[in-house]
Amino acid sequence: MFFCLALCSCSLSKVEWVDMDSFASLDSDKDFIPYSTSVSRMDEAAICNAAIVGGGSVGDYLESESSQTKTSHTDGSTLVKGLLSCWGSSKIRSYCGTYKSIDQNGKDIRLSGRIILPADGKVSRIMVVSHYTIGSNAEAPSSEVPLEALYATRGLAVIEPDYIGYGVTADRVHPYLCAKLTARNVVDMYIAALPFLKKIGCNPRYDDIFLLGYSQGGATTMSVAHELEWNHPEVKIRLAMCGGGPYDVCATYDALIDNDFTDYPCAIPMIVQGFNVGAGLSLDYSDFFLPEMLENMDEWLNSKKYTMAEITAMMGTKRLSDIMTEKARNKSEDLMTDLYKAMLDNSVTSFPTPECPLYLFHSYDDNVVPYINAISETIQLEATTSNVIYNTGHYGNHVAGCLRFLLCCLDLMETHGDL
């Protein structure tokens, strides 16, 4: 959920504006309309220059954590080397563009995202990726090549939306963890991308698709699977891969409040604001936040200038009692009723279980998204389906877990002959 890991250097060639005349046959009301394209080479610099919350390289960050957290057959250098071997020096081509969806009020809105393809244009399947939590618009998929682009080097067409509040809608508040709305936005990009892929001669060889997401993206992916099965039963989901997700938003909120400490304290204001806007709650923020947080909330969260780490540094604390009122830390208070209802309505643990095959990953040692989420989701899944692969263990902190998750997903697809 509260995570920031992205490529800040991907050996990008010069970004080129596309010739719009060549896409004149696309329908702007239905299709993905590209505005720029670029070719990237995925080499060692792309991984070693990856930006981690708090600064430093991927290897440095993971190695520093290895002495603090018990891990299972994992250390920082092993994970990074694993990712490097995946990238190799393969080239990819990506397109940034816009598509039509709806906002929290059901009104039409144009959103943006990136489609990433193998450079040779030979696509085996589509993978729809729901990204993790970001703070700065510079981290949005349309702004920089996301880490999940590694799957494009293995023949997949990776479709990754920005979500409302990023990319071309960066001036709007992100409806954070509003799973149903975000899932609709993700699905709309997938549907809009199909005519575009056909137009450029990149139709996938197979018509079933992969879904993938970690952290916020893990919960969103579970919701995307539900949205597709409910409203687009013609879409065949080969496998939905969900890692480290806040599937139970109420339990996540409670755990953070009870601990009175989190590496990303800005997550709580993002939750309150996200549901206030996304669910139309009309909350009074002064009931929830102490003066300093209240005064800086709009600049820190909504300017989209700052990463999660930078917001945390400006807040100067990781204790929630330093930024929140006593009432906002008491679920029994009347002012919490509407917020809890909205969180419950958007907890995927309350959704019907997807019928597609599922892969559920979570580290016991996750320092950002409490492991209670995996417990809650497992209880629901075990009661309703047997079509699930579980992978839980001492896999390190949230970031280490993400890298392992990406590698495990790659291995899973290769093992089953999908890549």
Mean pLDDT (whole number) for 190-217: 97
Mean pLDDT (whole number) for 159-185: 98
Residue 376's H or E segment, with its range, is helix 372-384
The reported pTM is: 0.90
More confident site: 79 or 353: 353
pLDDT category at 147 given cuts 50, 70, 90 is: confident
* H-only helix segments in 260-336: 267-278, 291-297, 308-315
Distance between CA atoms of 301 and 228, rounded to whole angstroms? Answer: 31
Rg (CA), the chain: 20
Residue 301 pLDDT exceeds 80: yes
Locate 189 and state its tokens.
């990009």
Mean pLDDT check: name the lowest of 70-79, 116-125, 309-318, 356-365. Answer: 70-79
Number of Cβ within a 10 Å radius of residue 73: 9
> Cβ distance 162 to 133 under 8 Å?
no
pLDDT at res. 61: 39
Among 126, 392, 385, 143, smallest CA distance to 245 is for: 392
Locate 72 and state its tokens.
């299972």
Distance between CA atoms of 155 and 139, rounded to whole angstroms? Answer: 24
Locate 3 and state its tokens.
């995570």
pLDDT at res. 41: 73
> Cβ distance 181 to 278 under 8 Å?
yes
pLDDT at res. 4: 42
pLDDT digits (tens, 9 = 90+) for 26-78: 999 999 999 999 888 765 444 444 433 333 334 433 433 433 334 444 555 56
The whole-angstrom distance between residue 146's C-alpha and the CA centroid of its chain comes to 10
Q: Can you list the positions of beta strands (E) in 208-302?
A: 208-214, 236-243
Number of residues that make up the chain: 419
pLDDT at res. 19: 72
Edge to edge, the sheet with strand 125-130 lists 16-17, 33-41, 91-102, 108-118, 156-161, 125-130, 208-214, 236-243, 358-363, 388-393
Q: Can you list the positions of beta strands (E) in 344-419?
A: 358-363, 388-393
Distance between CA atoms of 133 and 130, rounded to whole angstroms? Answer: 10
pLDDT category at 102 given cuts 50, 70, 90 is: very high
Phi-psi region of 173 (alpha: psi -120 to 50; beta: other; left: phi over 0): beta
pLDDT at res. 56: 34
More confident site: 78 or 344: 344
Distance between CA atoms of 130 and 182, rounded to whole angstroms? Answer: 9
pLDDT at res. 162: 97
Mean pLDDT (whole number) for 244-267: 93
Distance between CA atoms of 37 and 145, rounded to whole angstroms? Answer: 11
> Cβ distance 393 to 74 under 8 Å?
no
Mean pLDDT (whole number) for 313-331: 95
pLDDT category at 367 given cuts 50, 70, 90 is: confident
Among 375, 352, 69, smallest CA distance to 223 is for: 352
Environment class of residue 80 by beta-carbon count within 10 Å: exposed (0-12), middle (13-18) or buried (19+)? buried
Residue 233's H or E segment, with its range, is none
Mean pLDDT (whole number) for 214-234: 97
Residue 357 pLDDT exceeds 80: yes
Among 312, 364, 394, smallest CA distance to 53 is for: 312
Residues pairing with 52 in the sheet = 5
pLDDT category at 270 given cuts 50, 70, 90 is: very high
The whole-angstrom distance between residue 91's C-alpha and the CA centroid of its chain comes to 23
Among 43, 376, 327, smallest CA distance to 218 is for: 376
Residue 264 pLDDT exceeds 70: yes
Question: What's the DSSP call for residue 299?
Answer: I
Contact residues for 102 (Cβ-Cβ < 8 A; gap 6+): 108, 109, 181, 184, 185, 188
pLDDT at res. 2: 45
Locate 188 and state its tokens.
């709309």
Mean pLDDT (whole number) for 145-152: 91
> Cβ distance 95 to 160 under 8 Å?
no
3-state secondary structure 27-63: CCCCCCEEEEEEEEECCHHHHHCCEECCCCCHHHHHH
pLDDT at res. 358: 96
